[in-house]
């Protein structure tokens, strides 16, 4: 809303704009013109953009920020041009209240809003009923197999009773340890003589393994009930004899050989 400073009645247009009946935009613009200041000078003085200052003078509420900021701009504008800041704010609030009914009237009423709300509530109610019905059918479907289950006859009581003691005694437990027959033959004596550095890993009678490092000139004597399982690191560096009988070892010097004796 611009301010027309021309008057046909011979009165001072500036005085009319500053009068108590003038709006806040007319009030500020009239004082600015009276002080011969441009909007650019006011913008430089207040650090407010020219577009905001122009919106204040034209009372363009759509381009103005929220009231808390607009009131601050009004006071800064009034101080820059020498106007009364409180008066400018008062006129702004008056004009704001007068413009609100018009603004509310500009908003088109959405037809059928109440009908849409009612339809939405009805649709939600129908959906709730449908969900409840589905749950009821599902529960009934789960209960049907339980009602038609065929009873399976129980086995005779004598089959469920424990077996006689004599029968149990005749059948040895499955997990009972089996006695391993120990040969009555004499023990086996193994002699290992190293003429080069070597190592030997020995398993005696399928027991735990033991490892021996032999230097040149050393010998190792071992005893077993059933036999030996040997892993020799340097087959060409050792000589074996079992029960005082020389044992031929296949392989070359430096090779690793696994043999079982006897």
Q: Do residues 217 and 187 lie in contact, with contact meaning Cβ atoms separated by under 8 Å? A: no
The confidence score (pLDDT) of residue 251 equals 82
Confidence of residue 176 (pLDDT cuts 50, 70, 90): low
- Which whole number is the average pLDDT over 77-96? 94
Q: Where are the domains of the chain?
A: 13-106, 188-261
pLDDT value of position 193: 92
User: Between 1.10.260.40, 1.10.3720.10, 3.30.310.50, 3.40.50.720, what CATH number should domain 13-106 receive?
Assistant: 1.10.260.40
pLDDT of residue 98: 86
Please, are residues 238 and 200 in contact by the beta-carbon 8 Å criterion? yes
Residue 173 or 66, more confident: 66
Is the pTM higher than 0.75? The answer reads no
**And the tokens for 216?**
């040149």
C-alpha dihedral, 128 to 133 to 139 to 142, nearest 10°: -130
Q: Cα separation of 40 and 25, whole Å?
A: 17
Please state which of the four CATH numbers 2.30.110, 3.40.50, 2.60.40, 3.40.720 is assigned to the domain occupying 188-261.
2.60.40
- Between the alpha carbon of residue 154 and those of residues 148, 150, 157, 163, the distances in Å are 18, 12, 8, 18
Q: How many helices (H) and strands (E) does the chain have?
A: 9, 8
* pLDDT greater than 50 at residue 232: yes
């Amino acid at each position: 809303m611009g301010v027309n400073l021309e008057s046909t009645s011979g009165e001072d247009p500036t005085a009319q704009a500053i009068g108590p009946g003038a709006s806040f935009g007319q009030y500020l613009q009239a004082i600015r013109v009276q002080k011969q200041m441009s909007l650019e000078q006011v913008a430089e003085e207040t650090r407010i953009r020219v577009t905001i200052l122009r919106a204040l003078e034209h009372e363009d509420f759509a381009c103005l920020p929220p009231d808390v900021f607009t009131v601050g701009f009004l006071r800064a504008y009034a101080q820059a041009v020498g106007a009364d800041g409180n008066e400018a704010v008062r006129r702004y609030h008056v004009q704001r209240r007068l413009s609100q009914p018009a603004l509310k009237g500009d908003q088109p009423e959405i037809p059928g809003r109440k009908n849409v709300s009612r339809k939405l509530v009805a649709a939600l109610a129908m959906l709730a009923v449908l969900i409840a019905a589905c749950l009821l059918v599902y529960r009934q479907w789960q209960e049907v197999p339980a009602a038609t289950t065929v009873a399976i006859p129980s086995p005779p009581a004598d089959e469920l009773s424990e077996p006689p003691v004599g029968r149990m005694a005749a059948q040895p437990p499955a997990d009972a340890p089996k006695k391993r027959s120990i040969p009555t033959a004499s023990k086996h004596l193994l002699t290992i003589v190293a003429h080069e550095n070597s190592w030997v890993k020995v398993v005696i009678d399928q027991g735990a393994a033991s490892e021996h490092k032999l230097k040149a000139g050393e010998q190792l004597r071992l005893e077993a009930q059933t036999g030996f399982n040997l892993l020799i690191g340097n087959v060409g560096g050792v000589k074996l004899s079992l029960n005082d009988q020389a044992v031929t070892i296949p392989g070359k010097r430096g090779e690793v050989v696994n043999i079982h004796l006897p």
